[in-house]
Structure 1
């Protein structure tokens, strides 16, 4: 195994829990690391700091893979086994959850979402790209996968300088459409062409809080995807729901999911872009659900929130989710406040929400908790 020597300050960061380092943190290397083969990270004096991936073309060329005492043999299966044990303790139904969440599960650049016996994989670093056969084998052997599907067609790969790939099968015969259960609701999702891996497990805490906001509410959901939010609003007493999505296929699935959950007659789903919908709708609602994934910049985010505030009645509730990127880390509530100020509306925060337990992240890594959500009462 090759050695990579790090500066004194970089070694201090690793010892204090850092999970990635910059190129200037590297002092020297024994030869040229092969992408996908772990290296031994050492300080200036040669003391072992742990295992890592080194990719000099990446924005963060050094990524932590293991602690100083950790063996490289069996590393991928070992981390996947630990991830399974975590979910068994922390998730209500571990058959449907995120199984591997990047650095939070010790596998930087790897995402694995589980749909009972079907597993969907995304790789976000070149080292993980190179390990795809080993990853597939570990998921099958450790997690008992019936099928494994690779979804490397996301915009996030392009933003990281990685070539997008068409969805393709790594193992078994995954279905295009799959059913899942979450918090008492049933969903059909598109594993092959749906957004990300087909379903937003990362919004589970937001869905849980909807039970407190939805009773007898008239609801607007302008960016509903397959209905992950408004379905739960309906199951907890919403009396009327108007929902939209820019993707016609997602809107069709949202319609099917509404019927599958007994919401026929209370839900109307149409096609439309979120901002266009918020501009065109003239009514106000008791509860507005705004997923801002279509907002491409802070100013665009503010515009989406402003329009959502306009559609929220006096004393109504607004449930917002934001993501970074594109939002700068730590800017979410400041931008929400800016939108309220521009609309001259007073808002009270009812709850601050974030990622669920199946999305663990290192505590000292800014940006790892990529989702922010807030429930507001708007006056």
Structure 2
């Protein structure tokens, strides 16, 4: 484990080269540099003597031994022979040509996050302030905000701030740190986001700062550092962490402390409304309802009955509160596993006029893609079995490793296996506040396909 200093990190500068022919993604401005792409033996501190050298004059020694990841992860943060988490580092190709500038985390497999692709561009407080201002202003291009609504203000790589996600729920900011290299700058980042939100008509009074368990592990964050990071939260830790906000004309609650992601699924906000337009007078099954986004929108749109299913008792409790708050009586909630629930309903001979599938991410890495596609096939085939001819299937994937083409081909396979025709009515993505950068295709992750099953 690495313990981070939450103060601004050292201004020491470092330089490292990629392995041969591993630099091409970064020429296209992709921000993630994995440890296995680096020639670790070329790491050096940028002393004045080094900075005055011609960095392109000598290629790296092809036979030099690479430093191990374990050495980097276990090194003393005070030992200046190696950088500490959050230090600024220049990335060069194997021949010594400058490529980009970023922040290093010696404890992470995602070793460097890149933020500057011009050697003249610095990574300092002014840079972060400018990018935060641009990101919040970008959300205002679609019109005036609803101060009582929800929106994503900062979306990591998509807003050129890899490792930072900020969602706003009414007057509360949910700040998720996904990159350990940003931890030394977190307090400054929160201050700048809060100021930008106020300038753009959405002042916020409360802040929750968090990292999920997987990120803590993968980024090598110590318990002490995590506690210091969480101390930046301004929510009353003894109060109910449930926050109410307006969502598609509904009053919705999310649990910022114990909920998933940053509390809710703002990326699906417009998809909830779009799917609801097909649900009037239909019997609807919503699988993986979470806090009821699709289900309550369908109930409000005039569905005859909505059955909402989730495996989380906590999520269902909040969904029930949401239904009660909005006086929706045509929805009921069942707890169960998505695969088992669909199987049991088929065995009972149930049918629905419309089914909504919004499962969690099945593929967290590239090597999980094939298994994820098999899971999507199984889930969608089970749903098709419960739909009559003319039924509506709304099927979603939030797995960035599964492309839209792969997801549509999965539906082709479902139609073939079940002997049904699937007609796509809409092929949708996330709400526009979830922008994506073309240089980082992983940020184009959400698919929502509305299908009529014949």
2:449 corresponds to: 374
My pick for the range that moved more, 144-153 or 102-111, is: 144-153
CA drift of 1:2 comes to 1.5
CA drift of 1:331 comes to 2.6
Q: What is the correspondence of 1:127-138 to structure 2 with a 5 Å cutoff?
A: 127-138=181-192
Please tell me whether residue 319 in structure 1 is matched to residue 394 in structure 2.
yes
CA drift of 1:118 comes to 1.1
Q: Distance in 2 between matches of 1:294 and 1:272?
A: 17
The normalised TM-score by structure 1 is 0.88
Q: Distance in 2 between matches of 1:373 and 1:270?
A: 23
Counterpart of 2:331 (choices 236, 253, 267) is 267
Q: Based on CA coordinates, which of the two structures has the bigger radius of gyration?
A: 2
Distance 1:368 1:182, change over 3 A: same
Q: Distance in 1 between matches of 2:218 and 2:355?
A: 30
Counterpart of 2:233 (choices 153, 168, 171) is 171
CA drift of 1:316 comes to 0.5
RMSD of aligned alpha carbons: 2.9
Deviation per CA, 1:182-220: give whole Å up to 9, x if none: 222220111111122221011123223214312222111
Distance 1:317 1:200, change over 3 A: same
1:198 corresponds to: 263
Q: What is the correspondence of 1:105-144 to structure 2 with a 5 Å cutoff?
A: 105-144=159-198
Q: Matched residue of 1:225: which SS?
A: coil
Q: Distance in 1 between matches of 2:32 and 2:104?
A: 10
Deviation per CA, 1:250-282: give whole Å up to 9, x if none: 112212212322322x11112222222212223
Q: Is the 8 A contact 1:240 1:267 kept in 2?
A: yes
Q: What is the correspondence of 1:215-254 to structure 2 with a 5 Å cutoff?
A: 215-254=280-319
My pick for the range that moved more, 358-367 or 226-235, is: 358-367
2:134 corresponds to: 82
My pick for the range that moved more, 2-11 or 363-372, is: 2-11
CA drift of 1:241 comes to 0.8
The normalised TM-score by structure 2 is 0.74
Q: Is the 8 A contact 2:398 2:446 kept in 1?
A: yes
Q: Distance in 1 between matches of 2:432 and 2:285?
A: 28
Distance 1:337 1:19, change over 3 A: same
2:59 corresponds to: none
Structure 1 spans left out of the alignment, 5+ residues: none
CA drift of 1:111 comes to 1.3
Q: Matched residue of 1:367: which SS?
A: helix
Deviation per CA, 1:357-376: give whole Å up to 9, x if none: 21222213232222222111
Q: Is the 8 A contact 2:17 2:92 kept in 1?
A: yes
My pick for the range that moved more, 123-132 or 90-99, is: 90-99
Q: Distance in 2 between matches of 1:16 and 1:294?
A: 27
Distance 1:63 1:315, change over 3 A: same
My pick for the range that moved more, 17-26 or 112-121, is: 17-26
